[in-house]
Structure 1
């Protein structure tokens, strides 16, 4: 372990998945803390404005040897992977969550980098979906590698809880599953999560650790998320219940064709993903009781979901006025 890795000194850090919302926030946090940020983008991909101060690399994740040479050439000290499949479909999950990360890990080892930080997900505690199994497979490979590692497993992102903003602003009810209290989470903002990830570079106690992390509590239910959104919009809460059984029915029908068609396989998995998030809390899972625990879920940061909702509503109002 290098001295720079534990004393807070500046590091040369590659961020994979840098074009995503979390990746962009990580690059920003790196630069704010005085690190040299290198953003890995797909060849031909547009460069987000947030990456203007980073060094852009267009190396191929399917070519670990070439990527390893590039990392060595740029003297990369540490790698932060924010790679994730876009759809969660089985083939996409295998390619992104496992293979791309594995190639990146091999390149990091080849280049002499001394720390690999993985952005994973808290839902891998109870793996029922293809992308969760792919993430776990890579976590195992990372733990078995010769490079120091940190695995960060965040709870829900603010972005993932923002899908009904336009619906509420259009005067429609907020959709809930069951009574709206089947699940809970401690959502965390992009900026707070990015700071937590970047702090892993210089905190020795986070090396070799798997770290669940949420935003500032308390844990909230889906119904409470809706109440916060209506409060931010200045409207009276209105809810509509969606039966969880709809997802079971959809998955059951679509699964009949998944052996014969990638399209059916993807759609069936989407239905299973929807059911999972409708019924499973994004909190630390107690291995003894099998129950989710808000008390056991660590908290970090200061950004709140209602402030995020207010900012998103204000941005939409400005755009509508233009």
Structure 2
């Protein structure tokens, strides 16, 4: 079935329908699922037809439109039986139109199609930031989480902290001798970043771990929580250079948002830019850690850890040319 080595086989191999397989976390999850001996059918956009999109040879690829319920049935499930739906699918930009189309409606349609195909278990990649839902994409994710929880199916909702990719946008500028940019003094927020590989394995393990069933699962990577300033210091140390920072006031983001909101009343496309600025401000001021609802404070000690690779190790691999990142829509600097 697959050329992927099965080093830790599942005691109960299953047939998995996979959404969001071509993202970096999706690819890692597909590899982890195959490594456990599951059969994985990936539903991809038609523009990926003719290419395996860096997916393992053992994955079965099908093409269609995830936003079209008819295509999900006809081109994806094809009247066949499946055991599990795994989704790493997310909107590309997070602006309201995309968020509600992908993070909510496409998932809702996929859930309905999966039930018709006999699926009894769903593993969903969500995000830890939905704990404080101030943005459209967070509200859309929460709306589907609620639908999934109320569906009666077995579920695991995985809410990871920061990804290595999202924290690597300044590696090249620092390598070029430019300062590391900080919002405020660089200690406003903290996170416990997790690698794609470690997160993919964690998601795959949900299929066999009874302790993760019917639960919301916040998860971070190994080690203590780190601030943006610490990330910059690690990067300069790995490059053998003295730290050089430039502080950006959060108030600047507030000004940009206000201007874009005003202009957006006349130029509709600027509304999306305003939302992107709001997303940037959110990540500049909110920690990606478990939020204590009683105190309203983020708690690093309460944020579980998994995996083995640290952000510092990933930075070192980036600098040596052993790893790369495609920031795509997530580029900030």
TM-score bracket, shorter-length normalisation = over 0.9
**How many residues were matched structurally?**
312
Matched, 1:9 2:12: yes
The answer (yes or no) to whether the contact 2:67–2:101 under 8 Å persists in 1 is no
Give the equivalent residue in structure 1 for 2:44. 41
1:90 to 76, 91, 96: 96
1:25 to 24, 28, 31: 28
1:148 to 140, 149, 154: 154
The answer (yes or no) to whether the contact 1:109–1:146 under 8 Å persists in 2 is no
Give the equivalent residue in structure 1 for 2:72. 67
Residues 263-308 of structure 1, C-alpha deviation per residue, up to 9 Å, x if partnerless?
1110100111111000000000000000000010000010011110
Give the equivalent residue in structure 2 for 1:230. 236
Length-normalised TM-score, structure 2: 0.90
Structure 2 CA distance for aligned equivalents of residues 262 and 83 of structure 1: 27
Aligned ranges 1:179-190 → 2 under 5 Å: 179-190=185-196
Residues 237-262 of structure 1, C-alpha deviation per residue, up to 9 Å, x if partnerless?
11110111111001011111334543
Length-normalised TM-score, structure 1: 0.93
The answer (yes or no) to whether the contact 1:29–1:198 under 8 Å persists in 2 is yes
Give the equivalent residue in structure 2 for 1:246. 252
The answer (yes or no) to whether the contact 2:26–2:88 under 8 Å persists in 1 is yes
2:179 to 161, 169, 173: 173
Structure 2 CA distance for aligned equivalents of residues 317 and 185 of structure 1: 21
Matched, 1:269 2:269: no
Give the equivalent residue in structure 1 for 2:134. 128
1:81 to 87, 90, 107: 87
The answer (yes or no) to whether the contact 1:117–1:150 under 8 Å persists in 2 is yes
* Aligned residues: CA RMSD: 1.7
The answer (yes or no) to whether the contact 1:68–1:110 under 8 Å persists in 2 is no
- The answer for unaligned runs of 5 or more in structure 1 is 1-6
The answer (yes or no) to whether the contact 1:72–1:112 under 8 Å persists in 2 is no
- The answer for unaligned runs of 5 or more in structure 2 is 1-9, 325-333
User: Which moved further from structure 2: 309-318 or 229-238?
Assistant: 309-318
User: Which moved further from structure 2: 44-53 or 147-156?
Assistant: 44-53
Give the equivalent residue in structure 1 for 2:227. 221
Structure 2 CA distance for aligned equivalents of residues 131 and 66 of structure 1: 24
Give the equivalent residue in structure 2 for 1:4. none
Where 1:14 maps in the other structure, the secondary structure is strand
1:293 to 295, 299, 310: 299
Structure 2 CA distance for aligned equivalents of residues 8 and 99 of structure 1: 33
Structure 2 CA distance for aligned equivalents of residues 317 and 301 of structure 1: 18
Structure 1 CA distance for aligned equivalents of residues 276 and 212 of structure 2: 34
Cα distance 1:202–1:100, how it changes in 2: closer, same or farther (>3 A)? same
Residues 118-142 of structure 1, C-alpha deviation per residue, up to 9 Å, x if partnerless?
1000000001111111111111111
Residues 85-115 of structure 1, C-alpha deviation per residue, up to 9 Å, x if partnerless?
1111111111111111111111111111111
Cα distance 1:316–1:111, how it changes in 2: closer, same or farther (>3 A)? closer
Cα distance 1:248–1:43, how it changes in 2: closer, same or farther (>3 A)? same
The answer (yes or no) to whether the contact 2:198–2:307 under 8 Å persists in 1 is yes
User: Which moved further from structure 2: 8-17 or 21-30?
Assistant: 8-17
Residues 30-72 of structure 1, C-alpha deviation per residue, up to 9 Å, x if partnerless?
1111111111101122431233320001133233355246426
1:109 to 115, 119, 136: 115
2:170 to 164, 168, 185: 164
Give the equivalent residue in structure 1 for 2:331. none
